[in-house]
Every structure is written in structure tokens, then in C-alpha cells.
Amino acid sequence: MFRDKRILSSRRVISRKSNGFTIIESIVYIFFTAIIFLISTNLIFDSYKLYIQNQEISRAYNKMQNFYINLDSILQKDIIREVEFGETYLILYRDKDNVLISKNIISDKESLGAKYPGRISPNILLKEVKDFKVIQKDKLIYLKIIDNNGRAFIRCI
């Protein structure tokens, strides 16, 4: 790494070491530094992509939890007298001041909505829904919701 230089001056030989790097050493250093920089840059980009994916998954689960919270509030708001359902809809009849009022939960253009009687458009509860099914097993009613990413959410009501 260090070279010896011999200098002749007035009949004496002076030996001293130089404190520099050779060109090959400098190129090797630059090469290793560039490799470390590229690897760290790739790691940063990969971790950022994973962060974005986790954020999207978290938002999807948050929307689904909000839907179930809204559904629970609909189910517990008044006394449910009767439940009617098909494969893609759910109708809840509730008793309000001795009058049966229906509330329809239907799938409409990639969204789930609650349609009230006397209103034209439904109240959207959940967006980005690929499929919505109501399944009955014995006396239990299950809601199966598949979002646009293909994740299935199943819950008993």
C-alpha cells in the first residue's frame, strides 16, 4: 500500500514513505462503494413498496370493519321482526312505532348499499365489492363478501 521512495541528496540516501493510494486501490474502493450504494438503494425501494402494499391492505380491512360496524348498528337499532334474503340481497323488517319498516341491503354496481323505503338511491355502505352472497346454514345466516382483490370476508349475522 505504501511505497518507499529513495532520494539521493548530497551523497546520502534518504528513504521516506509516501502517504497516498494507487489508482487500482482507488478503483477498487469506488467499486465496493458503488455496490454497497446500489444494494442499499434497492433495499430502500423494496421496503417502500412493501409499505405501500401494507397501507392498501390496511385500508381495505378498515373499510370492511367500518361496514360491519354499520351493519351491527343497523341490526341493533330497532327490534328486527323478520329477515328475508335471497342469494344477493338481504331485507330486514324492523318494528318502529308498531309499523314494519324494511331495510334492504343489496349489491349495486360494485358496492353494497342499504336501501330504505321511499328513497331512490341506496346509502352506500361499502365500495369495491366484486361479489356479495347471503348463505343460510341451518338457522344461521352468513354474509360472504369478496372484494376486487379477491379476498373473501365471511361473517354470521
Count CB atoms within 10 A of the CB of residue 143. Answer: 20
Q: Where are the domains of the chain?
A: 67-156
CB 105 within 8 A of CB 114: yes
Q: Phi, psi (5° rounding) for residue 108?
A: -140, 110
Over residues 117-138, the pLDDT tens digits come to: 777 777 888 888 888 888 888 8
Three-state SS sequence of 47-60: HHHHHHHHHHHHHH
The DSSP element (H or E) to which 45 belongs, if any, is helix 23-77
CA–CA separation, 25 vs 116, rounded Å?
78
Confidence (pLDDT) at 10: 59
- The better pLDDT of the pair 138, 36 is held by 36
21-50: average pLDDT: 94
The grid coordinates listed for 106 are: 343489496
The grid coordinates listed for 60 are: 381495505
CB 115 within 8 A of CB 104: yes
CB 128 within 8 A of CB 148: yes
Residues 6+ apart with CB under 8 A from 68: 155
If pLDDT is split at 50, 70 and 90, which confidence band does 11 have? low
The answer to whether the Cα torsion of 70, 66, 139, 129 is positive or negative is positive
